[in-house]
Amino acid sequence: MTYEDFVDICRPINVPVAVDRAPAKRAGTVVESIYNGASVIVPLADVQHIERNDGGGLRVVTKHTRWDVDRDVWANSIFVPEAEAVEFLSMWCRYRYELEQDTIADLMPSVTEP
Neighbours of 53 (CB within 10 A): 16
85 φ/ψ angles, rounded to the nearest 5 degrees: -60, -45
Considering just the CA atoms, what is the radius of gyration of the chain in Å? Answer: 16
pLDDT-derived band at 82 (thresholds 50, 70, 90) equals very high
pLDDT at position 14:
46
Residues 6+ apart with CB under 8 A from 58: 50, 51, 52, 79, 80, 85, 88, 89
pTM of model > 0.75: no
How far is it, in rounded angstroms, from Cα 35 to Cα 8? 20
| pLDDT confidence band for 100 (50 / 70 / 90) | confident
Cα–Cα–Cα angle for 44, 81, 16, rounded to 5 degrees = 80
Among 20-24, 59-63, 74-78, the minimum mean pLDDT is found in 20-24
Quick one: pLDDT at residue 5?
A: 60
Mean pLDDT, the chain, as a whole number?
Answer: 79
- Give all strands of the β-sheet with 58-62 in edge-to-edge order: 47-52, 58-62, 78-80
pLDDT at site 109: 75
- Sign (positive/negative) of CA torsion 92, 98, 101, 102? negative
